[in-house]
Amino acid sequence: MRKKQDKPHILITGAASGIGAACARKLASQNNRLYLHTGNNHQALEGLAEDLQKQHATEIHCFTADFTQQAEVKHFIDQLKSEAGYIDQLVLNAGYADKGGFESLTTSTLNKALAVMTQTPAQLIQAFFEDIKQSPCGRIISISSFVNKSSGLNDSFFTMTAAAKGGLEGLTLDAARQFKNGPATANIISPGYTRKDGKKSAFTDHQWAELATRLPLQRLVEPEEVAALVQFLLSDAAAMITGQNLVIDSGLSLK
């Protein structure tokens, strides 16, 4: 039986950059036991883990798995069960923005988005559901997006991403319902336009700067600000928050 004072085992998907890496930095400072995943940026993930271990002496395990490949997903889950034993807290962050509306939708692009942002998260929730449900600090946090709620400030559509993130939100809310009669919680965070720290982006630098000026709070969301909300929701202080979709968007939803 795990005790409340035991170090939580935390899995963060999509942890090599952006919000996922910011979450790893926040949570490493609390001396948690971290299990970090990336789809293909293994070098960046290993570099992040090395830096965090030097700073905090935190136990960190790194995994690379392409969520569009079922054989890799199965191997990833098997590895986690072998190395971690159990998972207390699950941060489902892996994803990407696929810019385009129905005119660009194909079976291939839709299936890829669903595999990364809906199907594999469902498998991870299923694989560790009982661990999380029975944990004294059990948590699921899913990182969604504004794109399944709004076309944003410039009528840019992200149809494939919106569909996949909608599925992720549904899974998370149903997990919250199925956690009844126990301490585990499940919540969603929906960021707005968030500053990127990698080369891949749906917009040019000029477009990002222009978007920031049109937001009510006049700037982009920082990955560290989303990570701070993740950190809070994983904590004991957030024990009474479950089944919620928290928006952090520099006022975008007020437009």
CATH number, residue 155: 3.40.50.720
Q: What is the pLDDT of residue 156?
A: 86
The separation between CA 214 and the C-alpha centre of its own chain, rounded to angstroms, equals: 26
Strand-by-strand arrangement of the 60-64 sheet:
60-64, 33-38, 9-12, 89-92, 139-143, 185-191, 245-248
For residue 2, is it within any domain?
no
Written as one letter, the residue type at 243 is G
For residue 82, is it within any domain?
yes
Torsion angle (degrees, nearest 10) of CA 251, 18, 94, 148: 20
10 Å Cβ neighbour count for 192? 25
How far CA 23 is from CA of 31, 36, 48, 174, 201, in Å, comes to: 13, 10, 11, 24, 20
For residue 141, is it within any domain?
yes
Contact in structure between 27 and 10 (CB atoms under 8 Å): yes
How much is the mean pLDDT over the chain? 94
**Tens digit of each residue's pLDDT (9 = 90 or more) over 184-220:** 999 999 999 999 876 667 678 888 889 999 999 999 9
Q: What is the extent of the structural domain holding 163?
A: 9-248
Query: What is the band of 3 on the pLDDT scale with cuts at 50, 70, 90?
Result: low
10 Å Cβ neighbour count for 213? 9
Q: What's the structural domain count of the chain?
A: 1
- For 90-120, give the DSSP string: EEE-------B-GGG--HHHHHHHHIIIIIH
**Tens digit of each residue's pLDDT (9 = 90 or more) over 65-106:** 999 999 999 999 999 999 999 999 999 999 999 999 999 999
Query: What is the band of 13 on the pLDDT scale with cuts at 50, 70, 90?
Result: very high
For residue 121, is it within any domain?
yes
For residue 253, is it within any domain?
no
* 155: β partners: none
For residue 3, is it within any domain?
no
Q: What is the pLDDT of residue 221?
A: 96
pTM of the model as a whole: 0.95
Q: What is the pLDDT of residue 200?
A: 66
Nearest alpha-carbon partner for 67 in 117, 18, 24, 108: 117
For residue 4, is it within any domain?
no
Q: What is the pLDDT of residue 31?
A: 76
Q: What is the pLDDT of residue 205?
A: 83
Cα 190 from Cα 147, distance rounded (Å):
9
For residue 182, is it within any domain?
yes
